Amino acid sequence: MKKPMRKTFLVFGKPFIGKEEIVEVVKTLKSGWWGTGPKTERFEHEFAAYTGADHALGVNSATAGLHLALKALGVGPGDEVITTPLTFVSTANVILHCGATPVFADVERDTWNIDPKEIEKKITKKTKGILPVHLHGSPCDMDAITAIAKRHKLFVVEDAAHASEAIYKGKKIGSIGDITAFSFYATKNIATGEGGMVTTNNKNLAEFMRIMSLHGLSRDAYKRYSVKYYRHYESVIPGFKYNLTDIAASIGIHQLARVEANWKVRKKHWESYVQAFTHMPQLILPAPDARDTKHARHLFAVLLRLEAMKITRDEFVDHLIKMNIGSGVHFNPVPSHSYYRKTYGYRKGMFPNAEFVGERTVSLPIGANLKNRDIEDVVRAVRWIIDSYRKR
């Protein structure tokens, strides 16, 4: 089989935008409202309606949203928060930023999401809450997780950076846990460059996070400067600078409007990959969707059966690059990173399922801006690598 080669590089996670976003941003630039203002307020209302949550707050990243969530729920020094080792480091970092300790519970080997049975094993008197991650857009077992939380009087904060469209047993992700954080980073299904949203059904938590998101001021900038007469504001608590801008929200409004149409395109690409790779024993495909759930189809990841290959995962990724195919690794487990190894003494073998996935995972392009021929190029490239480097 001749080595396939694209003429141009297929960018992994390239954002998909339309004319509507460009027009809206220009309107915002001309309006003078560049910071947090009416466009952000509109985006928040529309996102709350989409997720079925009572309240939504625009923030400048999902990381900021997670930090606000933990602060709102009183996480501090001496506390422990249980989360998954198979996630981006920000999920664990925000726990540290609160002065608390992240405690990792291993993932399920088939779903790659946090294992509720492992969560139970990690609960101590110091445990304050659970922070599950809907990895790649696949909803965690929220019934089991919320039952554990209720039994032990713990909060649940969901990291839904990958899961804007996800549904768990008829409930939209964003309306289940105490607080949920979403990402609108450039590679996400809803992309604003940088940005995010936190949702909650608790009015008091929503108000606290809103105040904390903008320096701890009693009134945000939009309300301070849009009133008909001057009003003083107060710093009621030392807050952060986590607010979303109207420029970003101008993009997000239209990204949200077409999110379901884009999801259908990614679902089609997903099914093409599954059909192409089902009978390749060198690959482990994503688990089938659980009953009554909707996968957000954010990332299509395969696991390499390394025992059947002559190359490592990293070498596999390098071969894709040489054929002008972009890809990603989501993720190397957090405990494998140097800070966590040195600080907490994590070593290989402590989280066997997360390590198994982390050593083998490769995310393939699946954006709504991709064409069928792009997916075909990826399939040809993967098949060539497998055929060239499989053990006979």
pLDDT in tens, 107-145: 999 999 999 999 999 999 999 999 999 999 999 999 999
Task: Fill in the DSSP letter of residue 23.
Answer: H
Burial of 291 (0-12, 13-18, 19+ CB in 10 A): exposed
Residue 221 pLDDT > 80, yes or no?
A: no
Residue 225 has pLDDT above 70, yes or no: no
The alpha carbon dihedral of 318, 324, 330, 335 has a sign of positive
CATH architecture of structural domain 19-257? 3-Layer(aba) Sandwich (3.40)
Strand ranges (E), the chain? 55-59, 80-83, 101-104, 127-131, 155-159, 167-168, 171-172, 179-183, 196-200, 283-284, 293-294, 300-304, 361-364
Token pair of 328 as six digits: 């990603």
Please say if the pLDDT value at position 227 is more than 90.
no
For residue 272, the number of C-alpha atoms closer than 13 Å in the C-beta half-sphere is: 20
pLDDT of residue 235: 85
- Can you tell me the mean pLDDT for 43-59? 98
User: What's the pLDDT at 219?
Assistant: 66
For the segment 148-168, what is each residue's pLDDT rounded down to a tens digit? 999 999 999 999 999 999 999
- Residue 125 phi/psi, 5-degree rounding, is -65, -20
Give the closest residue to 246 by CA, choosing from 42, 18, 54, 17. 42
What's the CATH class of domain 259-389? alpha beta
Residue 341 near residue 348 (C-beta atoms within 8 A): no
* 294 carries an active-site annotation: no
Whole-angstrom distance, CA of residue 287 vs CA of residue 274: 11
pLDDT for 105 beyond 70: yes
For the chain, residues classed under CATH 3.90.1150.10 are 259-389
Q: Cβ of 34: how many Cβ atoms within 10 Å?
A: 14
Q: What percent of the chain has pLDDT over 70?
A: 97
Query: Under the phi-then-psi rule, with left for phi > 0, alpha for psi from -120 to 50, and beta for the rest, what region is 389?
Result: alpha
Kindly report the backbone phi and psi dihedral angles of residue 211, in degrees, each rounded to the nearest multiple of 5, phi listed first: -65, -45
- For the record, the structure tokens of 199 come out as 């949702």
Average pLDDT over residues 314-337: 98
- Where, residue-wise, is CATH 3.40.640.10 in the chain? 19-257
Out of 39, 128, 172, 188, the active site residue is 188
Q: What is the pLDDT of residue 233?
A: 76
Residue 45, H or E segment: helix 38-51
Mean pLDDT, the chain, whole residue set: 96
Pick from 187, 174, 82: which is nearest to 134 by CA?
174
